[in-house]
Amino acid sequence: MSLPDAPITIRPLHAADEDAWRALWTGYLDYYETAVTEEVYRVTFKRLLSGDDTEFHGLVALVDDKPVGLVHYLFHRHCWKVENVCYLQDLYTDPALRGRGVGRALIEAVYAEADKAGAPAVYWLTQEFNYAGRMLYDRVGVKTPFIRYNRPS
Amino acid sequence: MSLPDAPITIRPLHAADEDAWRALWTGYLDYYETAVTEEVYRVTFKRLLSGDDTEFHGLVALVDDKPVGLVHYLFHRHCWKVENVCYLQDLYTDPALRGRGVGRALIEAVYAEADKAGAPAVYWLTQEFNYAGRMLYDRVGVKTPFIRYNRPS
Amino acid sequence: MSLPDAPITIRPLHAADEDAWRALWTGYLDYYETAVTEEVYRVTFKRLLSGDDTEFHGLVALVDDKPVGLVHYLFHRHCWKVENVCYLQDLYTDPALRGRGVGRALIEAVYAEADKAGAPAVYWLTQEFNYAGRMLYDRVGVKTPFIRYNRPS
Amino acid sequence: MSLPDAPITIRPLHAADEDAWRALWTGYLDYYETAVTEEVYRVTFKRLLSGDDTEFHGLVALVDDKPVGLVHYLFHRHCWKVENVCYLQDLYTDPALRGRGVGRALIEAVYAEADKAGAPAVYWLTQEFNYAGRMLYDRVGVKTPFIRYNRPS
């Protein structure tokens, strides 16, 4: 077990993180009661490491040198702006490490990456009933009145 | 005035549409009580016409050969899928032509473009209190429990 | 047909309104895809006319002397106040007369009754997706962040 | 300190509970960033003890014979039903005793009182962003799409 005050480090996802990344991301997908194919695990991990600006980027949070959280984020066009904006997706913290600030550190690291990239906005979507998440999001972000509609499947 | 049953045609945005596009998009931005700089008009219009897959694409709705509505949409990565998904933004109909199905025709045209591109999902965001919009969206789409948070400005 | 500018009169529900009241209230219940028994029609109508302060009160809107809308309201205790508050329920306008201000006139008449009774607050509940209603409510009232939970049935 | 597994007892509010009731209710009002006058404390407490069916009733939760939670509830008319319905208001648990099931026990005790009174429905309102409350309410109740509007003050 890590000590309650062990420091949190955030760094870009590395190729060597694959096993830990798979475990964390599976936890995230489980939360949404979904699952993806082996192909999606492989393709997404490869894209996250590609360094290509049109792909999602990944950060991991480390405690005691072990990945305990992840976040994926994408820069994309926005018609209202010259600069790209940043879409933060797939934020997850190992349940055993909750309450220490891992989620907040990951969001703030994405803010820093957005600043470096000159992206004037960062946003994310969450389910209205994700109470635990929203307790954090209300502190580090601002709720908007925007809701999401999908094409019917 | 166009006849109430004049047919609606949807086609990609052309360079010759610039004036009409500016007028319609200004109407849209007005709805959101926002405004953009001349640079954003120029850059966004150029990007919409670029044919580049990482840029927003534009469609216009014509009645009597006159643009009366527009929609912008973007294909982007999604970590849960191999294929890109389609983000529909900036849907607008000239208020004088409301109630004829222009908005629906534009959304359905984006669905058709998504099918052509192999994008398995189309989504959009709207304000919770956009009642007129949601009357349409509830018919052509499905409300999700997802809400948007922004980085504080 | 009544003229578009025929004036709207609001008055308390009378015994002679029973048939018109039944028709309007059935329209309201239809909107909620519900129905009530004959006993409920009888008991509720009797209570509305009772003049008893613990019962719902009823107002009707008249156009050309014909009831075209109704509202029911109840004064009840509120632990935070010495005075009773006013719960407005069952607001309905004949669809053929929509857009003339009948709903607004009924709500404002309840405000006046609340003032007469010394009730410092009037409130009502509506479905989040009652777009037509909310277009009016946003003008005559204020949306709160309160949502309703029910005991499971 | 009470033991973590000390049993929770629910009983009606008594005159002797006044000091404890005031402390708990003040905690509740603080949560809503509101305050009431001394008159409201006196009048509300007296009404809660009156045994009058048109008044709010009160229950307290005891741990180690000490009140650690309260709930107020009111039976009132509903036009759609012959029977009264039950409006649960002012649910509160001492923060030091959270997580032990005090809130759930109070809600379930109101359900039992509603059953005794023949009230076929129990409902309550809560702020959309009352995350801690809603974690409980989603387990013991059902969220409805109803939202509350107020007369502007």
pLDDT < 70 stretches in chain C: 1-3
Question: Which pLDDT value is given to residue C3?
Answer: 66
Q: Put residue B144 in one of left, alpha, beta given phi > 0 → left and psi -120 to 50 → alpha.
A: beta
Residues from chain B that touch C128, judged by Cβ atoms under 8 A, are 128
Question: Which pLDDT value is given to residue B1?
Answer: 52
> Do residue B151 and residue A111 have CB atoms under 8 angstroms apart?
yes
Residue A152 placed within a domain? no
Residues A126-150, mean pLDDT to the nearest whole number: 97
Residue D36 placed within a domain? yes
Question: Which pLDDT value is given to residue C91?
Answer: 97
Residues D95-113, mean pLDDT to the nearest whole number: 96
Instruction: Please give the C-alpha separations between residue B31 and each of B26, B35, B127, in angstroms, as whole numbers.
Output: 9, 10, 11
Question: Which pLDDT value is given to residue D3?
Answer: 66
Residue B145 placed within a domain? no
Residue D123 is part of which domain span? 8-139
> Do residue D126 and residue C147 have CB atoms under 8 angstroms apart?
yes
Residues from chain C that touch B134, judged by Cβ atoms under 8 A, are 129, 131
Task: Enter the tokens of residue D24.
Answer: 């708990």
Residues from chain C that touch B131, judged by Cβ atoms under 8 A, are 131-132, 134-135
pLDDT band at A73 (very low <50, low <70, confident <90, very high): very high
Nearest Cα neighbor of A13 from A74, A70, A78, A95 is A70
Chain C residue with minimum CA distance to B136: C131
pLDDT of D78 above 90: yes
C-alpha A50/C-alpha C32 separation (Å) is 53
Q: Kindly give the pairing relationship between strand C8-12 and strand C57-63.
A: antiparallel
Q: Worst-scoring range by mean pLDDT, C105-109, C133-137, D95-99, D114-118?
A: D95-99
Q: What is the pLDDT of residues B112-131, one digit of tens each?
A: 999 999 999 999 999 999 99
Task: Enter the tokens of residue D137.
Answer: 């309410």
Residue A65 placed within a domain? yes
Do the Cβ atoms of C123 and C86 come closer than 8 Å? yes
Instruction: Give, in degrees to the nearest 5, the angle at Cα C33 between C31 and C38.
Output: 100
Chain A residue with minimum CA distance to B141: A151
Q: What is the pLDDT of residues B9-51, one digit of tens each?
A: 999 999 999 999 999 999 999 999 999 999 999 999 999 999 9
**Which one of C80, C129, C144 has the shortest CB-CB distance to D149?**
C144
Residues from chain B that touch C134, judged by Cβ atoms under 8 A, are 129, 131
- State yes or no: ipTM above 0.90: yes
Q: Residues 6 or more apart from B72 whose CB is under 8 A from it?
A: A79, B48, B56, B57, B58, B88, B89, B90
C-alpha B83/C-alpha C121 separation (Å) is 54
Residues from chain A that touch D137, judged by Cβ atoms under 8 A, are none
Residue D127 placed within a domain? yes
> Do residue B144 and residue A147 have CB atoms under 8 angstroms apart?
yes
pLDDT of B86 above 70: yes
Question: Which pLDDT value is given to residue B3?
Answer: 65
CATH label of the domain that carries residue A32: 3.40.630.30
State phi, psi for B89 to the nearest 5 degrees: -135, 160
Interface test with D, best of C33, C55, C128, C147 (most D CBs within 10 A): C147
pLDDT band at B6 (very low <50, low <70, confident <90, very high): confident
Q: Per the structure, how many domains does chain D have?
A: 1
Question: Which pLDDT value is given to residue B2?
Answer: 61
pLDDT of B57 above 90: yes
Residue A69 placed within a domain? yes
Q: What is the pLDDT of residues D27-67, one digit of tens each?
A: 999 999 999 999 999 999 999 999 999 999 999 999 999 99
Strand ranges inside B77-129, DSSP E: 85-93, 122-127
pLDDT of D2 above 80: no
> Do residue C151 and residue D122 have CB atoms under 8 angstroms apart?
yes
pTM (global) more than 0.90: yes
Q: At what angle do helices C131-140 and B131-140 cross, to 10 degrees?
A: 170
> Do residue A122 and residue B150 have CB atoms under 8 angstroms apart?
yes
C-alpha B122/C-alpha B72 separation (Å) is 12
C-alpha C114/C-alpha C83 separation (Å) is 11
pLDDT of A16 above 90: yes
Nearest Cα neighbor of D72 from D129, D125, D31, D141 is D125
Nearest Cα neighbor of D53 from D78, D86, D89, D27 is D86
Alpha carbon of A2: minimum distance to chain B alpha carbons (Å): 30
pLDDT band at A2 (very low <50, low <70, confident <90, very high): low
> Do residue D148 and residue C125 have CB atoms under 8 angstroms apart?
yes
Q: Residues 6 or more apart from B98 whose CB is under 8 A from it?
A: B132
Touching subunits for chain B (3+ Cβ pairs under 8 A): A, C
Residues from chain A that touch B125, judged by Cβ atoms under 8 A, are 146-149
Interface test with A, best of B80, B110, B134, B144 (most A CBs within 10 A): B80
Residue bearing tokens 């404390």: D41
**DSSP codes, C26-67:** HHHHHHTT----HHHHHHHHHHHTS--TTS-EEEEEEETTEE
> Do residue B125 and residue A145 have CB atoms under 8 angstroms apart?
no
Residue D3 placed within a domain? no
Alpha carbon of D139: minimum distance to chain A alpha carbons (Å): 13
Instruction: Please give the C-alpha separations between residue C122 and each of A89, C130, D77, D88, in angstroms, as whole numbers.
Output: 42, 19, 16, 18
Alpha carbon of B22: minimum distance to chain C alpha carbons (Å): 29
3-state helix vs strand vs coil in chain A, percent to 5: 35, 30, 30
* Cβ count within 10 A of residue D115: 13
Q: Residues 6 or more apart from B105 whose CB is under 8 A from it?
A: B8, B10, B61, B69
Nearest Cα neighbor of B70 from B31, B117, B119, B37 is B31
Interface of A with D (CB under 8 A): 128-129, 131-132, 134-135, 138, 143
Residues from chain D that touch C111, judged by Cβ atoms under 8 A, are 151
Residue C153 placed within a domain? no
The DSSP 8-state label assigned to residue B20 in this structure reads H
Strand ranges inside chain A, DSSP E: 8-12, 57-63, 66-76, 85-93, 122-127, 142-150
C-alpha D50/C-alpha D57 separation (Å) is 8
